[in-house]
Amino acid sequence: MSANAMANVMLTIAVELQVYAMTDSELWLGLIGLAQFAPMLAFSVFTGTLADRFDRRKVFAAGVLIDVAATVGFLLYALTDPTSATPMLFLVALKGSGRAVSMPASRALPIDLAPEGLLERIIGLRSLVFQFALITGPLIGAFANGQSRILPYVLALVVFGICLVQLIGVPKPEIEILESAPGPRQALTDAFNGLRFIRRSPIILGAISLDLFAVLFGGAVALLPAIVEKRLDFEDVNTGVGVLRASIAAGAFLTALALSWRPLMRRNGPVLFGVIAVFGLGTIVVGLTRSFVVALIAFALISAADQVSVYIRSSVVPLATPENMRGRVLAVENVFIGGSNQLGALESGVTAAWFGLAPAIIVGGVGTLVVVAAGWFLFPDLRQVDRFSDVKPEPSSG
């Protein structure tokens, strides 16, 4: 699973750098986010049903194979010495389809296999390994892109291959699966059952809604190439973006390390709101500063805060979900996460094109703080969560 994350982040940074080099446009960086999010929005609810009905290891592998097909497409297009970024958007959309298939299964598997009472530590360790991949991935991707247009894609294919080999050794979880009758009409019914369950579970609805609307306004990471070149005056854009990406991953990695060693035990609801507020404040600092060092620290702080948020949500959401609905619920959450990251990238790109780079980032940070304040009053059940052990699933209807 960490190999899959590493390959995907290598692809992301290579595509961002190559598209920005061809277009010199913040808007195009935002369009990359939209192209990746659209298939997730369209397919995730149904791929979540697949993850509930079939062996989640095989569903995960199918998503990785779609990623491999997209990577081959990037490689072949790079060999033509391209000058247009438009075909790359279609390949990004294909990659987003792979994520829509693999993500619900890959996120459910560690929960399915976790021993009783160890979920919080399993989530912490999973995040730790995942963030290690995100530290090395940006550096490898940026360095490889600086050497050759095709090298990042070759390396990504190798890492995807490692991921598929690793999946062979994952045991099949002994869990309750979805056993409704097959067929397109039933698949639609199953998908909407998942949505209805989320709607009537205030903790799940609050957790994923807060992430969507808070991070939607704080998508400064998508503008990294423009920030490095236009705000921080860093001479080598490839290296600058790689270092900032690595600082983002390092902030998350150190936080995940702390959480794996000492998981949060109390006041998880208030902590969730607090760290999202820190995320917004850090974003404002990024918009104000012209110092590379200050930006590096701010991005690391933003990432650390986001990692705590992810840790809490990754524990609360599955604990509040029955086993045979985790695929569908996590698929919908994946849309919310994709919405916050990918639509946040689009929002940042559009507002930067309209109002300028710094105002767009600052307004985004302020918007995040407004969402935190509103969520505090709109989601009292989430705010009042204390121990993870207090969170229990409501009965499902299938």
Q: Cα separation of 214 and 78, whole Å?
A: 36
Which tens digits make up the pLDDT trace of 76-93? Answer: 999 998 888 889 999 999
Q: What is residue 320's predicted lDDT score, i.e. its pLDDT?
A: 81
User: What secondary structure does DSSP assign to 247-289, as a single string?
Assistant: HHHHHHHHHHHHHHHS---S-HHHHHHHHHHHHHHHHHHHHH-
Query: What is the Cα–Cα distance from 43 to 37, expressed in whole angstroms?
Result: 10
Q: What is the pLDDT of residues 183-193, one digit of tens each?
A: 667 767 777 77
Q: Cα(207)–Cα(44) distance, rounded to whole angstroms?
A: 18
pLDDT of residue 398: 52
For residue range 346-370, what is the model confidence (pLDDT) as tens digits? 667 777 777 788 888 888 889 889 9
Q: What single DSSP character describes residue 183?
A: S
CA distances from residue 28 to 10, 19, 84, 325, 363 in whole angstroms, order as listed:
19, 7, 11, 37, 20
pLDDT for the residue numbered 182:
64
Separation of alpha carbons 386 and 48, rounded Å: 29
Spell 105-142 as b/e; 16+ CB within 10 A means b: bbbbbbbbebeeeebbbbbbbbbbbbbbbbbebbbbbb
Largest Cα–Cα separation, the chain: 60
Cα distance from N-terminal residue to C-terminal residue, the chain: 28
Residues in the chain, overall count: 398
Residues 6+ apart with CB under 8 A from 50: 59, 101, 104, 105, 327
Is it the case that residue 122 has pLDDT exceeding 70? yes
Report residue 68's pLDDT band, with 50, 70 and 90 as the boundaries.
very high
* Model pTM score: 0.72
Domain spanning 2-171+190-389, CATH architecture: Up-down Bundle (1.20)
Residue 33 to residues 7, 248, 288, 303, 349, Cα–Cα distance (Å): 17, 18, 24, 19, 9
Angle between helices 86-113 and 326-338 (to 10 degrees): 140
